[in-house]
A and B are shown apart, each in its own frame.
Chain A
């Protein structure tokens, strides 16, 4: 057990790519927590997808020991957090486990949307904040301007901001000193009954469920029996330890400390993040306030391209869900696609990550149907329900009205792109709430329908601003609007996986865009194929994909048979990557690509 005065707990927060994980690398390296030989870049990003995309998805905790200039040795628990808005929930719960934050701002970029969002959360959690101006090795670095921005836009004191290059290691020593000197030591009482916060949990194939905890009061030892206050479940503790970042067993965890336990818990679902953990006997009755659970906001269907792989898909989804409580799923059947799952995600990146993992780790080709949000449907007969899948939309004559989720979006953008951003938000049925300037950057706040955002808003925003805009959002609540279900008919047959909910006023435009896209996405067949968009029975847009006229090898003699046979096999394999709707083969990527708007 470490003396409270010698503990500092903090999270590293920043806008995406501002250098959190790289800074964590340097802190680990400077304190010799990991030998130089074992260091690798962004070493805490251990998942394949994280390493490949160069982003953090899952928050990571590391305990480091630091001998400060005052001669004392401190235990520092750092939590590296993800920057992407989809994983904002990881950041917020991490913050509940610590007393301070290093706010990293890329000094070549300045304050961005997630910088703001994270600061607000840190302030909410009563954190002491140490601003870090990172990437000062780059010629475009402008610390004075960015420090000024931090004061103007965020309103916190930036006089103590530390200038750092997480790449070269410059300023790392100063950062460590600032952590020791400016961040508060945790409070807690070692003699009080055990009270620990369940910060996170995940599944490890060797050790089972691993629970990340922060001890508030009391002490926890291996072999003791613990109780989860929300479920009253009791478990004997098999192991306790800390991350260095490898898992290292220790004897006990005391107040202010962060570490893990394992206790033969079967499923991640048996643990509730934010829960209070205490001893089975003589435990505390004073539960922590807990966290709001992460709510999936984007839904889509996942179907195997090869219907025979449904059971494999079920297996892979169950395994992934073991490790990710924010991802929900239930079985779905579709007339055209057969058996699959309707899945809920925190956002589109989350969706992509899960889909990628299923395709790669479990080797299943997937059809992903149009992402949708949850609508509240109010029926004429006074009943109401949640609609997760546009295909389930009841007949309009039975519906009184419906409500859709709205968000508050904050966008920071250089002046010269402001016009494009306003147009984009306006086109997506946005209502402007605020527009302010900080130097040459504008901050716009919009009230937007979530269904206009989930799909490709972020991509569009990046493209119209050449990547210079940043974006963050929060849920606002539900509001009534004039939404209808738009169906797509291919060769006169409705393809339910392509049904979407659209605003009545935008239906024609979206319908036209979709049928045009599909005309390009569906390969030509040996017959002509009408592609239509319809609301109820009324066709609002129509295109015809003409029949294939010529596709034959001109010369085919004795020596060509073998080659031709191979070519045919390849083409047939390509055909297998498509799904048949009636007589029409639709390629798997069409379901998503058809929805992308090039407005």
Chain B
């Protein structure tokens, strides 16, 4: 089984902590987030700790390369909770020298108050959900903050943390190509070392989804315009020194999110909190773990050592599928030798040749990658390459 360990090690080992609460629900968001009147912070800490203990028992002697507090709105967590979780993790696992500890923050003033506390707790990277750089659009996106607040949160974060990233959503209602270019240039002027730039996705089950189905979500860019925005985003960021390293993520070289790379490189991670998924390579194979979605169900279950709602063995073919669908999102691509030898599958080289003849994928130094032209049509590439 040594080769399996080797396999996940290429991706690394991380801890994902899901905090499922927000101040209000944004109309586009399909994340597992809830608005509640009050939160028993001690009870939550207790449950997270129990989960860490449980997973650590299964994964002794590992080196932890990252921790990620995601949400929801983790910047609503008490800094003491964040600190205690990090401590607990350190008690079980050896921290890598360059361990990355990220916390996702909303830029409202309430959240920003906690920034210093997070730093003290051990967080060394902040990712701020700014979403838009004009107030009208922020309102349409249902955000509680203003551009002004976002700028202040960002300056504060930059003063406190070495690494700061923020998120923007483009292809919004009535957005033009020029307006997005100007907005993106402004964003780059703020000097982030990392940017997540997402095309607005209309998700089923959200307020936007319902409005869209009813034909009432007007002014969304047509596919051609959205595509132009995507390509413009790539070139603008590249010029500014933050080239894409994944479909929607851009970074100064060396500032890539180590945690997210674990997902895209099919590494191992422990997922705790409501609705968190995990992947673990144990002695008898690789597993996908899931937890209960509802906070009210997860909390008592986790506290009593039953936080996991599902654990499924991942057969080889599904591992291959995941390797392809996650790995081809990155600019570095996936190592064909890893696919071939570690997973014992044969790659369909005819398909690869076909796709590379139309310039959608390329193979160099054993790495199979989607080209700049291929990445935006990755779903099409995957339909060809993923074995039946």
Given A556-B247, A558-B271, A559-B271, does the pair A550, B376 have CB atoms closer than 8 Å? yes
Report the minimum CB–CB distance from A570 to chain B (whole Å).
11
Measured between beta carbons, the chain A residues less than 8 angstroms from B380 are 525-526, 548, 551
Question: Using Cβ atoms and an 8 Å threshold, which residues of chain A touch B263?
Answer: 556-558, 561
Give the docked Cα–Cα distance between A555 and B269 (Å).
18
User: A349 to nearest B CB, angstroms?
Assistant: 35
**Which of B230, B321, B383, B386 lies in contact with A550, CB distance below 8 A?**
B230
**A562 contact set on B, CB distance < 8 A:** 277, 288, 290
Select the residue from A549, A552, A568 with max chain B CB neighbours within 10 A.
A552
- Shortest Cβ distance from residue B272 to the other chain A in the assembled complex, whole angstroms: 12
On whether the beta carbons of B326 and A556 are closer than 8 Å, the reply is yes
**Quick one: closest B residue to A573, CB to CB?**
B388
Known contacts A554-B198, A562-B277; A568 and B377 CB within 8 A of each other: no
Task: Say yes or no for B250: interface residue by CB 8 A criterion.
Answer: no
B187 on the interface (CB 8 Å rule)?
A: no
Q: Does B360 touch A at the CB level, under 8 Å?
A: yes
Contact of B271 with A526 in the complex, beta carbons under 8 Å = no
Provided the pairs A549-B376, A562-B288 are in contact, do residues A554 and B247 lie with their beta carbons within 8 angstroms? yes
Contacts A554-B248, A555-B198, A561-B325 given: A549-B223 contact, CB under 8 Å? yes
Closest residue on chain B to residue A583 by CB atoms:
B354
**Is the pair A552, B224 in contact by a Cβ cutoff of 8 Å?**
no
Q: Are A558 and B16 in contact (CB under 8 A)?
A: yes
In the complex, the answer to whether B379 meets A551 with C-beta atoms within 8 Å is: yes
Q: Verify A556–B269 contact, CB threshold 8 A.
A: no
Which of chain A's residues have a CB closer than 8 A to the CB of B230?
Answer: 550
Whether A550 pairs with B278 at a CB distance below 8 angstroms is no
Name the residue on B nearest A552 (C-beta): B378
Is residue A466 contacting chain B, with contact meaning CB distance below 8 A? no
- Residues of chain A lying within 8 A (CB to CB) of residue B288: 562
Please give me the residue from chain A that is nearest to B246 by CB atom.
A556
Distance, CA A329 to CA B318, complexed state (A): 43
Given A558-B277, A562-B288, A572-B386, check contact A552 B379 (CB 8 Å): yes
- Please provide the chain B residues from 265 to 281 with a CB less than 8 Å away from any CB of chain A in the complex: 269, 271, 275-279
**Considering only CB atoms and an 8 Å cut-off, how many residues of chain B contact the other chain?**
46
- Check: A527 CB closer than 8 A to any chain B CB: yes
Contact check, A568 vs B383: say whether CB atoms are below 8 A apart: yes
Distance A553 CA – B201 CA, assembled complex (angstroms): 8
Chain B nearest CB, measured from A401 CB (Å):
46
Which residue on A lies nearest to B312, using beta carbons?
A: A562
A contact residues around B143 at 8 Å (CB): none
- State A364–B310 Cα separation when bound (angstroms): 36
Contact between A526 and B247, CB atoms less than 8 A apart: no
A571 to B269, CA, bound (A): 28
- A397 and B276 alpha carbons, distance in the complex (Å): 71
Q: CA–CA, A552 to B271, complex, Å?
A: 25
Say yes or no: is B368 at the interface (Cβ < 8 Å to chain A): no
Please determine whether B227 and A550 come into contact, CB atoms closer than 8 angstroms: yes
Are A551 and B322 touching (Cβ within 8 A)? no
B176 within 8 A of A: no
User: In residues 51-93 of chain B, which contact A (Cβ within 8 Å)?
Assistant: 70
Task: Given A550-B230, A572-B388, answer yes or no on A526-B377 (Cβ-Cβ < 8 Å).
Answer: yes
Q: Write the nearest CB–CB distance from A530 to chain B, whole angstroms.
A: 15
Question: What residues of B have a CB within 8 angstroms of the CB of A527 in the complex?
Answer: 358
A564 at the interface (CB under 8 A from B): yes
Residues of A within 8 A of B325 (CB): 556, 561, 564-565, 568
The residue in chain A whose Cβ has the minimal distance to the Cβ of B70 is A557
| Closest partner residue, chain A, to B269 (CB atom) | A558
Cβ of A67 under 8 Å from chain B: no
Are A557 and B379 in contact, CB atoms less than 8 angstroms apart?
Answer: no
Across the interface, name the chain A residue whose C-beta is closest to B382.
Answer: A568
Chain B residues numbered 207-234 whose CB sits less than 8 Å from any CB in chain A:
223-224, 226-227, 230
Residues on B lying within 8 angstroms of A by beta carbon are: 16, 70, 198-201, 223-224, 226-227, 230, 247-248, 260, 262-263, 269, 271, 275-279, 288, 290, 318, 321-322, 325-326, 329, 354-355, 358, 360, 375-383, 386, 388
5 contacts between A and B (CB under 8 A): A525-B380, A552-B379, A558-B276, A562-B290, A565-B318
Beyond the given pairs A548-B380, A556-B325, A557-B70, 17 more chain A to chain B contacts, judged by CB atoms under 8 angstroms and listed by A's residue number, are A527-B358, A549-B223, A549-B376, A550-B226, A550-B230, A550-B377, A552-B378, A552-B379, A554-B199, A556-B263, A556-B326, A561-B325, A562-B288, A565-B321, A568-B321, A568-B382, A568-B383
